[in-house]
Amino acid sequence: MISVEDFINKKESICVVGLGYVGLPLAVAFARHFNVIGFDINQVRINELKVGIDRTKETTPDELKSSSITFTYNEEHIKKCKFIIITVPTPIDRHKVPDLKPIFSASAIVGRNLQKDSIVVYESTVYPGLTEEECVPILEKESGLVWKKDFYVGYSPERINPGDKIHRFENIVKVVSGDTDYSLNIISEIYARVVKAGIFRAKSIKVAEAAKVIENTQRDINIALMNELSMIFHKIGIDTKDVLDAASTKWNFLRFEPGLVGGHCISVDPYYLTFKAQELGHHPEVILSGRRVNDSMPNFVVQNLLKLLIKAKKQIESSKVLILGLTFKENIPDVRNTKVFDIYKELKEFGINAYVYDPHAYKDEVFKEYEIELLQNPYAFSPYDAVIVAVKHSAFGEYDIKFYKDIITEPRILIDVKNLYDRELFEKNGFLYWSL
């Protein structure tokens, strides 16, 4: 049996499997207190991390260079560790069904390198029951070890918010769970050495799994309500922001805002819960309704752009539209599951020449994922017939009205998805302005 002191004294090591937006900051934080091995199957990623390059920008070059983490793509290094944390992505496929290949593959890799008396902690978002019902059998099969006798498992949902420099791993309350009192105590004490905000011990692994998946489901539903209200307010002819400003004066009004809901969490996690619910014979109405609303927003944006092109007497086919921003949220390079791509795709279907500029996204990643050639600068194909500001990057907030006058032909059309600019200012200057 292992003890927390074994890790404190660096007799034993911790391995973080999966060094993406979640795994890398976690590994860096743990390395300040323990011996840490960072494992990822992506050799390019490992080689970049070794020289202090983090494409996710969740850590700084100085943090990486000063860290004692051993970065490796050699899975045999896992054998040196008795505490293993799995932080691989859990996406959905094109049918909105959980894609469990990454977490099953990670479980197999860990399993064939698992040592007796080890503890494996999953942080990936899953549906309640997956850790014990699906992952444990893989660990047992690959290792030849017996669960709760030779090794133990736990679940501790990740809560890292990409691009958020305030809510970091160390200062977010950490929910932990274990398969036995013994494993729960070890897991709690090890995380407690790193997380300053405190530890919450969930009653079971399934409870911890469920807690994670409903956090983003709740947010998804709230945003869906705002998106549907935005559709209604546009039909009424009033500004959504004006309505929210008024409603927010009440002390208990929750100010969510309409927008494009993409990324690896909010737009994905609800499908893990609905998948499990449907497997058990329950058809979730509210959750799937919210998903349908949020998935429809790119189309809503495009339809309103088309109306303005017609109003401006501009030809739809062969018109030129610049999209500012492609990442799924502001000020980060993450383009996974971005709904801006849905806007781009639909514009192309109408025969519109769509161009994309994003100062945060990586050109090679965007082309590999979406076959879009990012512009080097927003002026490249100007003037445009319209501009869609799809992401609220800080850099776009610095663009003044002169910038838009220079790059858009009259009558000037500006689609300001997230209400980044002053509507009255643009309308006074003759712009056909629209926002959610």
Collect all residues with Cβ–Cβ distance below 8 Å to 254 and sequence separation of at least 6.
Answer: 222
* Length of the chain measured in residues: 436
Collect all residues with Cβ–Cβ distance below 8 Å to 363 and sequence separation of at least 6.
Answer: 373, 374
Distance CA(208)–CA(188), nearest Å, equals 13
CB 38 within 8 A of CB 70: yes
Q: Which two tokens stand for residue 190?
A: 């090890």
Is 135 assigned a catalytic role?
Answer: no
Sheet containing strand 384-389, edge to edge, reads: 353-357, 320-324, 384-389, 408-416, 432-434
- Strand 13-17, strand 70-72: pairing: unpaired
**Secondary structure class of 314 (helix, strand, coil):** coil
* DSSP per position, 239-272: -HHHHHHHHTTSTT----------TTTTTTHHHH
CA distances (Å), origin 392, targets 45, 307, 358, 368, 412: 28, 23, 11, 24, 20
Catalytic residue among 15, 81, 135, 265: 265
Burial 212-228 (b: 16+ CB within 10 A, else e): bbbbbbebbbebbebbb
* DSSP per position, 180-211: SHHHHHHHHHHHHTT-SS-EEE-SSHHHHHHH
Catalytic residues: 265
